[in-house]
Amino acid sequence: MEAALAYDNANDRSLPVADQVIAQLFTEARTRNAWSDRKVSEETLKQLYDLMKFGPTAVNMTPARLIFVQSDEAKDRLIPLMGEGNQAKTRQAPVTIIIGYDVDFHETLPQLFPHAPDAKNWFPSEEGRKEAAFRNSSLQGGYLTIAARALGLDVGPMSGFDAEGVKKEFFPEGNIEPNYIMNIGYGTDENLFPRSPRLDFDQAAQIL
């Protein structure tokens, strides 16, 4: 029944997706701290990006810039820059994604927002571009999480790292700043904490 519903939904975007899909993306998904040794293919990483890129951003700026850290050599460069509590799980994860944001995203707007030829000039201030790039790359990181779960992967986002060191080591060219870092792969239940509480609707939202 659920498979039929999911098929029907593909032809009617006004219908909700099957409960199984919602569970995989949200209600049953967990942040993982330990990983199996199952590899993540280059094809899957490219598919992951190709899903993420369709998430909406302001004026289609898509400022996120990703580095997929997968080889032992690349991990050796990254792990000393991670917080102590994040080092072991980063070493174990099949892939670690550095999510950065391009402060000079406006340079690509003629390509990405062609129906407004003057869009590049809407962002003259570097401070304003940095704020917009941070906000929209964070959105893209959320899309990346959902895309990974849709592909059957688990995720483990982290903010404990030396941002200046990561920028120097992995974004030495251009005007790209690191936002946050996320392990991906096929997680295990090792070191899995009980699910933490969430705020109820009335605590976090209101309808006006």
Per the domain annotation, does 81 fall within a domain?
A: yes
Domain containing 4 equals 1-26
**Per-residue pLDDT tens digits for 14-63:** 899 999 999 999 999 999 999 999 999 999 999 999 999 999 999 999 99
**Per-residue pLDDT tens digits for 80-119:** 999 999 999 999 999 999 999 999 999 999 999 999 999 9
Give me the pLDDT at residue 9, please: 56
Mean pLDDT, the chain, rounded, equals 95
> Judging by DSSP bridges, how do beta strands 154-158 and 64-69 pair with one another?
unpaired
Per the domain annotation, does 180 fall within a domain?
A: yes
Residue of higher predicted confidence among 191 and 66: 66
Give me the pLDDT at residue 161, please: 98
What's the token pair of residue 74?
Answer: 């690349």
Q: How far apart are CA 74 and CA 128, in angstroms?
A: 32
Query: Into how many domains does the chain fold?
Result: 2
Between the CA of residue 41 and those of 28, 46, 47, 189, what are the distances in Å? 24, 9, 10, 22
Whether the pLDDT of residue 2 is over 90: the answer is no
Q: Same domain, yes or no, for 8 and 75? A: no
Per the domain annotation, does 207 fall within a domain?
A: no
Per the domain annotation, does 196 fall within a domain?
A: no
Helices (H) and strands (E) in the chain, counts: 9, 4
pTM for this prediction? 0.92
Q: Same domain, yes or no, for 15 and 117? A: no
